[in-house]
């Protein structure tokens, strides 16, 4: 249906009549508009003048039509569509991703090829973000400092794009885990009393930042923020020997710097869980489990899409105005014949 935002505008319709009544009339001239010496042409002129009067009466209605069209445009008409339901789970979900240099360790495999940890994280996290229909999702990248890449939004495509464009080392060489939690809490604490979740993914220990991770977790628990922590990295990695041969080859633990005790404490303090991802398959399974978090039930949100229509009456008034201007420039517009001697 069609609705008007400012329906009161139509009360201005009699305004031109009031202006004509209140303002003094323009001075009239007694000078003849047309001179002709031929009496035999008077009858023809009289008949032509009658037609001109009819046309003049029609033209007097056009300004009113223009005025009415302008009122329609000023009233802001809009086409209101059918109600559309918006999915809403009531969950605010913030992702905090470690992009310190340790994430470039190629101890995980993707499609049977060794790749760095951040590449695997992107590949697994993209479908997880796609599945968060109805959630407001945000993204934090942290290294020596924590940066908000994407505020909470329903636009999951933008979140994925900024995640995929992230690079190792862009936030510094250290790991400020506590600052990442603090930034997430800052962005979530003023949200309404809905379910607030922070998923923190890292492969190391807290080595920088002004806020300790445990203190940040205590503050988060006070504000009702649930933190799920994920430790990424394999337990064992084969290092090839000289020139790629077995001579001098050895095995190492690429996750020896991972502070699992700290990550477990952070999760327990806030009512969350700690997960260990030693492979891409483990990481995908963790995200499937996180995807089953029960949302807080909310009433379904609905809205009615509106499409503005003001340009139609505005364009109609413009066309009539141009037509009247062009018509007034024609010599025969008044209905008189050109008299030749």
Is the separation of the CB atoms in 301 and 85 below 8 Å?
Answer: yes
* Bridge partners, residue 117, by sequence: none
pLDDT of residue 241: 60
For residues 20 and 63, what is the distance between their CA atoms, to the nearest angstrom? 14
pLDDT for position 35: 53
Question: Where would I find the H helices in 75-92?
Answer: none
Closest CA to 107 of 255, 210, 292: 255
How confident is the model at residue 186, as a pLDDT?
A: 92
pLDDT at residue 307, rounded to an integer = 87
What whole-number distance in Å separates Cα of residue 47 and Cα of residue 335?
10
What are 301's strand-pairing partners?
86
pLDDT at 340: 45
pLDDT tens digits for range 168-204: 999 999 999 999 999 999 998 877 656 789 999 999 8
Taken as a whole, the chain contains a residue count of 341
- Which of 258, 313, 267 lies closest to 286, judged by CA? 267
Answer for the pair 277, 231: CB distance below 8 angstroms, yes or no: yes
Question: Are 100 and 174 within 8 A, CB to CB?
Answer: yes
Regions in the chain scoring below 70 on pLDDT = 26-59, 85-90, 192-194, 238-250, 293-301, 303, 330-341
């Amino acid at each position: 249906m069609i609705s008007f935002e400012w329906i009161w505008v139509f009360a201005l319709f009699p305004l031109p009549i009031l202006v004509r009544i209140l303002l003094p009339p323009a001075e009239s001239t007694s000078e003849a508009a047309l001179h002709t010496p031929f009496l035999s042409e008077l009858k023809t002129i009289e008949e032509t003048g009658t037609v001109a009067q009819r046309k003049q009466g029609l033209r007097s209605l056009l300004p009113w039509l223009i005025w009415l069209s302008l009122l329609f445009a000023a009233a802001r008409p809009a086409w209101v569509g059918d109600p559309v339901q918006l999915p809403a789970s009531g969950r605010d979900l913030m992702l905090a991703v470690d992009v310190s240099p340790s994430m470039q360790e190629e101890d995980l495999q993707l499609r049977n090829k060794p790749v760095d940890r951040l590449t695997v994280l992107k590949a697994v996290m993209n479908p997880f973000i796609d599945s968060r229909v109805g959630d407001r999702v945000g993204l934090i990248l942290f290294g020596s400092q924590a940066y908000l890449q994407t505020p909470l939004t329903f636009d999951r495509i933008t979140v994925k794009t900024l995640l995929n464009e992230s690079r190792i080392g862009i936030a510094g060489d250290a790991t400020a885990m506590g600052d990442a939690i603090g930034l997430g809490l800052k962005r979530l604490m003023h949200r309404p009393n809905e379910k607030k979740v922070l998923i923190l993914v890292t492969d190391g220990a807290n080595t920088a930042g002004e806020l300790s991770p445990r203190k940040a977790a205590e503050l988060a628990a006070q504000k009702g923020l649930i933190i799920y922590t994920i430790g990424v990295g394999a337990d064992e990695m084969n290092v090839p020997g000289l020139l790629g041969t077995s001579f001098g080859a050895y095995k190492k633990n690429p996750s020896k710097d991972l502070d699992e005790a700290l990550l477990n404490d952070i999760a327990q303090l806030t009512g969350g869980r700690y997960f260990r991802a030693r492979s891409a398959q483990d990481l995908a399974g963790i995200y499937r489990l996180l995807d089953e978090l029960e949302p807080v039930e909310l009433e379904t949100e609905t809205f009615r899409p509106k499409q503005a229509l003001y340009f139609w009456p505005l364009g109609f008034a413009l066309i009539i105005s141009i037509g009247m201007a062009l018509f007034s420039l024609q010599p025969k517009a008044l209905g008189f014949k050109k008299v030749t001697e």
